[in-house]
Amino acid sequence: MNEIDSPESEVICDCTGTTKEKILSLIKKKADLDKISSTTGATTGCGSCDFEITRLIEQHNRSD
Ligand code: FES
């Protein structure tokens, strides 16, 4: 299962416990990666969630 199809309760950023639901709610408010990072702390730990969050942003923008 990839991050696009995963449930909204899935934790995307293990370092901060940030869920997909939280990230999607920020994306819907037009938050970019920097804004998501500063709001949730995601990507500020190990950084491995960077790619997944970028994909979620791109997926959302494509569906706009
Ligand atoms: S998983 Fe998000 S910073 Fe480590």
DSSP sequence for 5-61: TS-TTSEEETTTTEEHHHHHHHHHTT--HHHHHHHH-TTSSS-TTHHHHHHHHHHHH
* CB-ligand 1 contact for 15 (6 Å cutoff): yes
Question: Measuring CA to CA, which residue among 60, 47, 62 is closest to residue 20?
Answer: 60
Q: Does domain 11-62 have CATH number 1.10.10.1100?
A: yes
Average pLDDT over residues 44-50: 97
Domain definitions of the chain by residue range = 11-62
| pTM (2 d.p.) | 0.87
Residue nearest to atom 2 of ligand 1 (CA): 13
Distance 63 CA to ligand 1 centre (A): 26
The confidence band for 26, taking pLDDT boundaries of 50, 70 and 90, is very high
Indicate if the pLDDT at residue 6 is higher than 70. Answer: yes
